[in-house]
Amino acid sequence: MEVLEWLVGPANDFIWTYILIGALLAIGTYFSVRTKFVQVRLFGEMFRLVVEKKESNDGVSPFQAFTISAASRVGTGNITGVALAIGVGGPGAVFWMWVIAIIGMATAFVESTLAQVYKVKDGDTFRGGPAYYMQKALGLRKLGIVFAILLTFCFGFIFNAVQSNTISQSFTDVFGIPEWLIGTGLVLLTAVIIFGGVKRIVKVTQMIVPVMAILYILVAAYIVIANITDVPAMFKLIVEHAFGIQEMVGGGIGAAMMQGIRRGLFSNEAGMGSVPNAAATANISHPAKQGLVQSLGVFFDTIIICSATAFIILLADLYGTGAKDGIILTQASMAVHVGAWAPYFIAVAIMFFAFSSIIGNYYYGETNIEFINANKSWMTVYRVAVLGMVMFGAMAKVSVVWSMADLFMGMMAILNLIVILLLGKVAFKVLDDFTIQRKKGLNPTFKASTVPGLTGAECWEDRPSEKLHN
């Protein structure tokens, strides 16, 4: 117990965070260079691919896979995390949040392309992710199981408890609804969706994600237009504070840089190993296609949604008042722009954001439980446990488990980063094949034989291979 307390203590939480940030920055920069900045080069292609139709009735479409990942990515961190970054690091944090998103787009491309290359067929759907490519590409099933356990613990259980807690606290404060009633409602809604399988999950996420994103962006756009004369000064403020031209809250350029990078990384999840689980579900003709689609997901999460929150806060000019609590700063800023109904709007936005995260997080755990053991009884136990954690989160204070979750997520990310660094050459060759075909005016298709020595890519071979679970 003492060892655990030492690992998740404040000092070591600081160390773990900086180790992870350093690794993500270094590897993201390397992937950007090796892919010739795919996130810039093929940015326009991403928009075309996200609406491309799937190849057959199996699996889900690129857009549906995109919404599964967006459901998990776009959460309360987009509202509270951004506010916290600005409250602690000043306006300059927004600039560094943008920088890390652009770098992270290359990492997201690599890990999601690998998930597609090494995905497996499961009935009329596909599954994949880091645990799968750890086994199929490297032959390290035990390492894959370790990763699967870490991801299931973090996303399926702890993060879902945190999301339901956020919904519960928000609705109790604003509407006065009892916590037990909110918890019961969340459990029932979640149960209806997760017991319906991946097809029902994608139906819900492809409806919720666009609605919540469009609504939030429209309100932010209204606020920007209403304050259009202040927008140039806002961008100037962001840049000046990013480079320490003006003195900032929290210790200057270092605080701005670290807060922006930290919040950006933990919001868009690039390199964490979570999003590839969604990327693998898509039925497409070439693995690089979904790599590009999920790269766009980083842009959508950070450059669009997080920026919307940042603009609301900066245009209200309350960030320097000392309010460090994310939700309080966001609500106060919104109230400046729209008046007394701001708390109600934020509560509804949190409901959309957090509930979609519960569904997306659940699926990440499901595909990893399937990797550990395909027995249906395991899945039933997992689903019941998830519902229990949703109820627990709505009723209890979950701050005590946040540090443990951060530690486990950090370990999960480090494992994934090491593996994708080792397998990066596969993603680079797949990208080269995609680029060559596009230059010829073709709709890129892929076969495993295209990459010499590629094994374990059973869904891309000319003949079916044996299933992952014997």
The pLDDT value recorded for residue 428 is 95
Q: The CATH number of 2-460 is which of 1.20.1740, 2.60.40, 3.20.20, 1.10.10?
A: 1.20.1740
pLDDT at 418 over 50: yes
| Both structure tokens of 172 | 């109790």
pLDDT at 2 over 60: no
pLDDT at 431 over 90: yes
Please report which confidence band the pLDDT of residue 207 belongs to, taking 50, 70 and 90 as the band edges. confident
Q: Which of 34-43, 356-365, 396-405 is predicted least confidently?
A: 396-405
For the stretch 100-158, pLDDT in tens is 889 889 999 999 999 999 998 877 788 889 999 999 999 899 999 999 998 998 888 88
For the stretch 221-240, pLDDT in tens is 988 998 898 889 888 888 87
Q: Is 355 in contact with 371 (CB distance < 8 Å)?
A: no
The pLDDT value recorded for residue 112 is 93
**d(Cα 67, Cα 205) in Å, to the nearest integer?**
6
Amino acid, single-letter form, for residue 424: G
The pLDDT value recorded for residue 10 is 47
Listed by start position, the domains of the chain span 2-460
Q: Which of 258, 170, 212, 260 is nearest to 74 (CA)?
A: 212
CA-CA-CA-CA torsion sign (464, 466, 468, 470): positive
Q: Which of 280, 273, 294 is nearest to 412 (CA)?
A: 273
pLDDT at 448 over 60: yes
CA-CA-CA-CA torsion sign (296, 300, 301, 303): positive
Q: Mapping DSSP to helix (H, G, I), strand (E, B) and coil, where does residue 125 land?
A: strand
**d(Cα 239, Cα 389) in Å, to the nearest integer?**
42
pLDDT-above-70 percentage for the chain: 81
For the stretch 39-82, pLDDT in tens is 999 999 998 888 777 666 666 777 777 777 777 677 666 777 77
pLDDT at 291 over 70: yes
CB atoms within 10 A of CB 442: 10
Residue 460, burial from CB neighbour count under 10 angstroms (0-12, 13-18, 19+) = buried
- In sequence order, which residues have a C-beta less than 8 Å from that of residue 184 and are 6 or more positions away? 391
pLDDT-above-90 percentage for the chain: 18
The pLDDT value recorded for residue 85 is 75
pLDDT at 402 over 70: no
- In sequence order, which residues have a C-beta less than 8 Å from that of residue 49 and are 6 or more positions away? 62, 289, 290, 292, 293
